[in-house]
Amino acid sequence: MAAMTLPAVAWAVPMDKAQRLQVAVQKSGRLTDHCLDLLARCGLKSSRGKDQLLCFGENMPLDVLLVRDDDIPDLVREDVCDLGIVGGNVLEERRLACLAAGIGPLFEVLQPLDFGRCRLSIAVPEGCAWAGPQSLTGLRIATTYPYLTEQYLHQHGVQAQIMTLSGAVEIAPRLGRAEAICDLVSTGGTLRANHLTEVATIFESQALLIRTPVPLSPDKEAWLQRILMRIDGVQQVKESKYIMLHAPRSALPEIRRLLPGSEYPTIVPLEGTTEKVAVHAVCRENVFWETLEALKAAGASALLVLPVEKMLP
Ligand code: PRP
Ligand code: ZN
């Protein structure tokens, strides 16, 4: 039997956009795994065939479209997708470009997602003198972020030439195409490998959840609100721990003071003693060994720290 050929664009298959939320996510890159993990933690079970660009939500009316990150702002702005998860760097660059071109209405930022942190920075070849933004005067700056770079130069009153490239910015100085670059830095590995030094940060970025400027149907809006609440819950439990310990009643004020980020601990009587109680508390911060040691020194015993999986305020 002849092998079946899949259509080139798998998500050209009609989807029920009227009923289902469509969320655009980077198809392969630094945000992809974090995005899919976040959606899974929000309860989404989706099926995705190998190489397919659409994940169909099986237990929620929500589908994930895997696309190029640079396409996400426009997919959402044009209401092709209801939602998108995209780096603040990509979004801000596109926002400035739209403003310059008089394009609107734009996408709307719903929530920062606390992953995919990186920065857009100016870098120069190792050994080059740097005495502030003025050092860029008259230089050629290679970048894939011309609007953000232009904004920085403008803010500092610097005249320089922006060389807009579509990629491989870090090798532009070696090729003699530029004297400086403005590029994304995460670990700094790419800069080091190319003998470049980061001299100024012009934009701090993290992943953002964005939505279409077009109002959603009541059903879709209700689902969006549920998802936002779940994202909130996911973000809250990230650092949260459930802590249980035994404590003498007399030590309770000190122990409450020591419990990191917990407002109202539960105090439970212990069978067979009136002096000691059990204390249970959700700590909104990580609980370190130092904290446990301090609690023990204050009289606590039988200390137990557990991870928190889900939380609804
Ligand atoms: C950025 C940037 C560098 C690299 C820096 O590209 O252009 O190549 O990441 O990361 P590092 O400091 O950890 O070495 P990215 O992978 O985001 O690809 P894109 O800009 O083409 O989407
Ligand atoms: Zn990209």
253-289 per-position pLDDT tens digit: 999 999 988 878 999 999 999 999 999 999 988 888 9
Range 82-99 average pLDDT: 98
Q: Tell me the ligand closest to 70's alpha carbon.
A: 2
Tokens describing residue 85: 């998860």
Cα gap 160→124, rounded to integer Å: 14
Class of domain 118-204: alpha beta
26-47 per-position pLDDT tens digit: 999 999 999 999 999 999 998 8
Cα(52) to centroid(ligand 2), Å: 19
Residue tagged 């994930």 (tokens): 64
Contacts of 73 (CB under 8 A, 6+ apart): 84, 86, 90, 91, 94, 95, 107, 210
14 band by pLDDT with thresholds 50, 70 and 90: very low
187-203 per-position pLDDT tens digit: 999 999 999 999 999 99
In the structure, which protein residues have their CB atom closer than 6 angstroms to any atom of ligand 1? 29-30, 69, 167, 170, 183-190
Cα(110) to centroid(ligand 2), Å: 21
313 band by pLDDT with thresholds 50, 70 and 90: confident
Residue ranges of the chain assigned to CATH 3.30.70.120 = 241-307
> What pLDDT is recorded for position 221?
97
Cα(42) to centroid(ligand 2), Å: 26
Range 87-104 average pLDDT: 97
Residue tagged 């289902």 (tokens): 20
13 band by pLDDT with thresholds 50, 70 and 90: very low
Range 8-20 average pLDDT: 63
Cα gap 280→267, rounded to integer Å: 7
119-131 per-position pLDDT tens digit: 999 999 999 999 9
Residue ranges of the chain assigned to CATH 3.40.190.10 = 21-116+207-237, 118-204
> What pLDDT is recorded for position 286?
81
Out of 31, 85, 190, mutate this one to test ligand 1's pocket (max ligand atoms within 8 Å of CB): namely 190
Closest-lying ligand 1 atom to the alpha carbon of residue 29: 16
Q: Tell me the ligand closest to 71's alpha carbon.
A: 2
Cis amide prior to 105 (ω within 30 degrees): yes
Cα gap 33→22, rounded to integer Å: 18
Out of 33, 67, 186, mutate this one to test ligand 1's pocket (max ligand atoms within 8 Å of CB): namely 186
CATH topology for 21-116+207-237 is D-Maltodextrin-Binding Protein; domain 2 (3.40.190)
Cα gap 112→119, rounded to integer Å: 15
> What pLDDT is recorded for position 10?
46
Cα(184) to centroid(ligand 1), Å: 6
Out of 184, 195, 202, 205, mutate this one to test ligand 1's pocket (max ligand atoms within 8 Å of CB): namely 184
What CATH number does the domain located at 241-307 have? Answer: 3.30.70.120
